[in-house]
């Protein structure tokens, strides 16, 4: 009789290691994170991740070989998306382990907290509870394409670059909950500071749409109803 960890067991570990290898590169983790917020072409991914198209294509090939992403060609363009929701859950689990083991992430989190000192923060679970009990205005600071791919029900698309010009659309006296791509998103920190400085009662949602989904909460696809 073979001992544990030999023969076919090692074949299992080899397959598991394929996933580990696929996410062993920071750019590939970043690309996965972006794709968790909606499908994108190679060109768009390269721009957002500050990579050359050739470099982005190489990283995406590795992710596709590990079956973490899927691609579809339309003419000259190739669009990528995550293979399914389990990929998003895996990425969140990876983040959770890193947060519990790596002190360096604490420093990044503290910088975000200091940048938004005096501004309330809440989790996705707390937002779900408060939406049942009170009226909140939820704004999505991500690009319009990400909003259309999936957003928290009732949220209004207000991409961060447009916030300065559209701030007059926000009703005075409303409690505003702003979210972007998660706890380490500097865009959200900048936006909530702007809103606070303009006198709004603003709350920063620490979590992302994938975090919201992981709680079993629904997401809605499509643009703003009034757009």
Residue-wise pLDDT tens digits, 77-107: 999 999 999 999 999 999 999 999 998 888 8
Q: Is residue 157, in this structure, part of any structural domain at all?
A: yes
CATH number assigned to the domain comprising residue 182: 3.40.250.10
142 and 195 both lie in a single domain: yes
Could you say which of 86, 118, 133 is where a domain stops?
86
112 and 204 both lie in a single domain: yes
CATH number assigned to the domain comprising residue 58: 1.10.10.10
pLDDT of residue 3: 58
113 and 205 both lie in a single domain: yes
Q: Is residue 96, in this structure, part of any structural domain at all?
A: no
115 and 202 both lie in a single domain: yes
70 and 168 both lie in a single domain: no
| H helix intervals, 141-227 | 144-149, 163-166, 186-197, 209-214
Is residue 6 very low, low, confident or very high in pLDDT (cuts 50, 70, 90)? low
109 and 190 both lie in a single domain: yes
Nearest-angstrom CA–CA distance, 113 and 118: 9
71 and 151 both lie in a single domain: no
pLDDT of residue 119: 84
Report CA 75 to chain centroid distance, whole Å. 28
Could you say which of 52, 86, 120 is where a domain stops?
86
pLDDT, one tens digit per residue, over 24-69 is 999 999 999 999 999 999 999 999 999 999 999 999 999 999 999 9
Provide mean pLDDT across the span 3-9: 66
Higher pLDDT, 186 or 167: 167
β-strands 137-140, 156-157: how paired? parallel
Domain tally for the chain? 2
146 and 210 both lie in a single domain: yes
Least confident of 111-115, 128-132, 177-181: 111-115
Q: Is residue 2, in this structure, part of any structural domain at all?
A: no
Is residue 227 very low, low, confident or very high in pLDDT (cuts 50, 70, 90)? very low
Is residue 147 very low, low, confident or very high in pLDDT (cuts 50, 70, 90)? very high
Nearest-angstrom CA–CA distance, 112 and 143: 21
pLDDT of residue 220: 95
CB 29 within 8 A of CB 23: yes
Is residue 1 very low, low, confident or very high in pLDDT (cuts 50, 70, 90)? very low
Nearest-angstrom CA–CA distance, 224 and 142: 13
125 and 162 both lie in a single domain: yes
Measure the N-to-C terminal CA separation of the chain; round to a whole number of Å: 67
pLDDT, one tens digit per residue, over 124-144 is 999 999 999 889 999 999 999
For residues 85-116, one letter each, b for 16 or more C-beta atoms within 10 angstroms of the residue's C-beta and e for the rest, the string is eebbebbbeebeeeeeeeeeeeeeeeebeeeb
Nearest-angstrom CA–CA distance, 63 and 177: 34
Least confident of 26-35, 105-114, 164-173: 105-114
Q: Is residue 33, in this structure, part of any structural domain at all?
A: yes
Query: What is the chain's mean pLDDT, rounded?
Result: 91
Q: Is residue 3, in this structure, part of any structural domain at all?
A: no
Predicted structure pTM score: 0.85
Show the domain range for 125.
105-214
* Positions marked catalytic: 180
Q: Is residue 173, in this structure, part of any structural domain at all?
A: yes
54 and 121 both lie in a single domain: no
């Amino acid at each position: 009789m073979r001992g544990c960890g030999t023969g076919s067991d090692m074949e299992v570990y080899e397959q598991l290691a394929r996933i580990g290898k696929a996410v062993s590169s920071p750019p590939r983790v970043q690309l996965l994170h972006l794709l968790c917020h909606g499908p994108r072409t190679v060109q768009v991914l390269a721009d957002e991740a500050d990579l050359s198209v050739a470099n982005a294509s190489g990283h995406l090939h590795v992710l596709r070989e590990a079956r973490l992403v899927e691609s579809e060609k339309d003419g000259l363009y190739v669009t990528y998306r995550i293979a399914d929701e389990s990929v998003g859950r895996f990425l969140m689990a990876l983040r959770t382990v890193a947060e519990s083991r790596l002190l360096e992430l604490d420093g990044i989190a503290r910088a975000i907290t200091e940048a938004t000192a005096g501004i309330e923060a809440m989790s996705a679970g707390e937002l779900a509870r408060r939406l049942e009990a009170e009226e909140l205005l939820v704004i999505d600071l991500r690009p319009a394409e990400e909003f259309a791919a999936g957003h928290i029900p009732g949220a209004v698309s207000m991409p961060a670059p447009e916030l300065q010009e559209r701030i007059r659309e926000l009703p005075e006296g409303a409690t505003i909950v702003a979210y972007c791509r998660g706890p380490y998103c500097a865009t959200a920190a900048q936006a909530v500071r702007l809103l606070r400085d303009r006198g709004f009662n603003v709350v920063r949602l620490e979590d992302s749409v994938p975090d919201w989904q992981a709680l079993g909460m629904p997401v809605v696809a499509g643009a703003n109803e009034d757009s």
